[in-house]
Structure 1
């Protein structure tokens, strides 16, 4: 399968043509739906307002290197992304990251991330690596958790207040907040404990302390791995439960696009979907290029954009008033050979809340993390710095590209603790993301979006807005949604459909299938790959 993600048909759309399915949005979710439907003979049109396909899994070219613009890995849980990659001929290209792990940047030093932790919460507060991160005072305060009674019966909703009350502010600021920002792009005070740490509340009650509860959860996970019921994972190390694709995650996007085109789907960039309305035989879609008709509509856009398209329809209008999101910017720096000796900060660094003077929330030493990239870079060193988390605007906000690169260089020098030379090239990418699934109340909002879509025949909403961020969330949801489109084909009178849903597919797509299972209680890791 060739890398064709950047190629789109620039010819005018044929007037009067009717499509089986129009897909609004050409990120991974939209392209997955197009791949699934076009492969079954559906006449599919994919539209995207940007100038490239792939969304957060697109490609950028920097100093002659093809790099990931956003997501550089996928969470291994569920196996759905690896399964899709294998179906697209990329199975032999799946690779793991360097297991060296990430570091933590504190106000006065950098230390390796403590190992036996759950989202930064230590199971043993007086472990040597925890003392290195917190100091003796912070570690002893954390140990008081072992002596405090569990006055609440383990039912905290938000992670931040739970950690602050049981273990103190240093654990929250130095361990939990950096991981929450790097993994979830969210303030820990808003993270839903039941979503990001399933079982922790019950384990806390069982063990009588938060650290003891963490030990129980980690032990249960270790047993599950030993039995083969779960993939190996270490919650203290972002990246340890992920995999990548040799050459970059953008190759998955390119393969999806190539597959869809091989089956005669049309993919158009630079065409914005403005609104949509139901018709007696399907949907009328208003775009920059004019009005188009289709039997079914799949909206695969970020939440705010999806609501701009669907906001006038029943059920969606109330959701427009409180749409929230996260703005993230990634600045990639390419250094000449010899600029960074060895891997002095492992695969990257998460920045603690009290590390004043560093504006980035995280840095990935990409050539240290991915052996294939080090080989491809031919001695050059590549680092990626991430800005923006929660409700705060990125520190790069309002800066031009040169100033943003200068800020990233300043932060990289502080993180590496050395006077790095100016980069030979840089690139900057900005993402507008929906509200993370992991925050308190987000799950209810996603269910409301699904319910609003389900109220309209032959309308489907996919992507992070309803499935949660991360390829491990989006891919199985999109594949199940494509099957749902096929199941609804008889709802449109007189429409010529080209395939039937098999009995096996009907059985596996019942309510409670991958579409819902991946969303309930699942983590929505930020797979841009910080650290």
Structure 2
């Protein structure tokens, strides 16, 4: 009958969001015998683990590696039958671009923080005075930087190791990984266990060294504590979706959840003219979207709505430049935010990083990816020069710039960072991928917000919220947290 309310589809579990956390939630629920329906607003699965074709090559459009400090992603790959695709990056190591020039990034354990301030590579980057100030860390009381309930990455590093470590090592790494100023980030979210390690081992350097001893990356080049998949990280999504289909999970793209309501038996999700009733609900969206979707059904979440993450744009260039065969900057280069004349925050030389991609590209053909966009905070010294550095150089090549402007900026930045002139004539193909606010933004106090969100969800009994904004940045963190959250609600 025209105008009649459609009957809802019934499923024992509904998952809203088809990124990695949503797909993995569906897998864990299906393994537990649940009938699962996944609703994804877009037309592609995987969220930030996506792909695009540039110059005839299928490349990662988002995440292109995972941290190996935990086995979470490797275990998932094994479960999906693709463990044989796991590959290590080329051992070329990463570099950091400083105002006075490029340096090899020292072997550091956490967010660029050195385990030994007198390591020759660290001293070359910091200078004698910088290493001397950083070494004061070992003589400070363990309470320095750990006494407060909440502290930022910047505050901890400045207190214990000084400004030079912050500006020359930590800011480039944090900017490259989290697209944010370390003054804005909660250290307990982006470097869990470090402050506890200071209390246990007596200094920040010792805490970092202890974490390094627990990894396979001991003594490895900076930037090598990661792995990837032959063919690209997006092949993880392909395998995950195939496994979900094999298990009978209902996968719906182009289906945006508009509203959620409580029912006597669980939850009703409205998506356009369709409704889905489920006993168990998993919301796997970015933080603002997740809270916005649930705020009517679960009002207790409203006050815990997080800020959106920074907007990031990735410019991928496929170039014909045999001069890059020598890997002039190893696997890539991170840019200190005070560096003049460079607008990118990081550059990945993908064909230098991944041997499988170099083989697929062929001799002389290279894939270079530059990242733009960084959540900035006020510089610590408040000087006009520092404020100008925080604002970045003029030219409008930030996330708000058009694709052509970003392309031109990428040519300039790639030329400067790689020390090889890259012109439009060298470019075989290029693409710009926009990620609007999807990187989790672990602002100071965010850990406490996560705990409160989890308490509100637990009180509902049949509601799970997952994703990077709760788990922390990186595939390993998301995979591990998602499995734990789904296991908890099933128990």
For structure 1, which segment, 92-101 or 283-292, has the greater mean C-alpha deviation from structure 2 after superposition? 283-292
Distance 2:22 2:359 in 1: 32
Distance 1:235 1:160 in 2: 25
User: Are residues 131 and 469 of structure 1, via their aligned partners in 2, closer, same or farther at CA, if it must alter by over 3 Å?
Assistant: closer
1:75 deviates by: 1.4
Instruction: Give the structure 1 partner of residue 441 of structure 2.
Output: 436
Kindly indicate whether the alpha-carbon contact (under 8 Å) linking 1:121 and 1:171 is maintained by their aligned counterparts in 2: yes
1:256 deviates by: 0.9
Instruction: Give the structure 1 partner of residue 163 of structure 2.
Output: 169
Kindly indicate whether the alpha-carbon contact (under 8 Å) linking 2:286 and 2:440 is maintained by their aligned counterparts in 1: no
Instruction: Give the structure 1 partner of residue 285 of structure 2.
Output: 301
Q: Deviations over 1:360-380 (max 9, x none)?
A: 111111111111111111232
Kindly indicate whether the alpha-carbon contact (under 8 Å) linking 2:67 and 2:474 is maintained by their aligned counterparts in 1: yes
Distance 1:202 1:263 in 2: 43
Instruction: Give the structure 1 partner of residue 193 of structure 2.
Output: 198
Asked if residue 92 in structure 1 is aligned to residue 70 in structure 2, the reply is no
Distance 2:366 2:122 in 1: 30
1:305 aligned counterpart, secondary structure: helix
Q: Deviations over 1:78-98 (max 9, x none)?
A: 312111111111011111111
The answer for unaligned runs of 5 or more in structure 2 is: 1-5, 378-390
Asked if residue 249 in structure 1 is aligned to residue 233 in structure 2, the reply is yes
Instruction: Give the structure 1 partner of residue 61 of structure 2.
Output: 69
Instruction: Give the structure 1 partner of residue 326 of structure 2.
Output: 342
Asked if residue 33 in structure 1 is aligned to residue 25 in structure 2, the reply is yes
Instruction: Give the structure 1 partner of residue 368 of structure 2.
Output: 383
Q: Deviations over 1:416-446 (max 9, x none)?
A: 1221132211122222225434x43111111
1:159 deviates by: 2.9
1:341 aligned counterpart, secondary structure: helix
For structure 1, which segment, 260-269 or 343-352, has the greater mean C-alpha deviation from structure 2 after superposition? 260-269
Give the length in aligned residue pairs: 460
Q: Deviations over 1:176-227 (max 9, x none)?
A: 11112123333222344445163457648965xxxxx3442354345x44xx
- Report the aligned-residue RMSD: 2.8
Distance 1:160 1:376 in 2: 41
Kindly indicate whether the alpha-carbon contact (under 8 Å) linking 1:335 and 1:421 is maintained by their aligned counterparts in 2: no
Asked if residue 425 in structure 1 is aligned to residue 425 in structure 2, the reply is no
Q: Aligned match of 2:476 in 472, 487, 493?
A: 472
1:340 aligned counterpart, secondary structure: helix
Kindly indicate whether the alpha-carbon contact (under 8 Å) linking 1:337 and 1:381 is maintained by their aligned counterparts in 2: yes
Q: Aligned match of 1:448 in 452, 476, 489?
A: 452
Asked if residue 405 in structure 1 is aligned to residue 396 in structure 2, the reply is no
Kindly indicate whether the alpha-carbon contact (under 8 Å) linking 2:9 and 2:275 is maintained by their aligned counterparts in 1: no
The answer for unaligned runs of 5 or more in structure 1 is: 1-13, 208-212, 488-531
User: Are residues 176 and 63 of structure 1, via their aligned partners in 2, closer, same or farther at CA, if it must alter by over 3 Å?
Assistant: same
Distance 1:97 1:67 in 2: 15
**TM-score, normalising length: structure 1:** 0.79
Kindly indicate whether the alpha-carbon contact (under 8 Å) linking 1:101 and 1:237 is maintained by their aligned counterparts in 2: yes
Kindly indicate whether the alpha-carbon contact (under 8 Å) linking 2:201 and 2:207 is maintained by their aligned counterparts in 1: no
Asked if residue 43 in structure 1 is aligned to residue 43 in structure 2, the reply is no
Q: Aligned match of 2:100 in 100, 108, 111?
A: 108
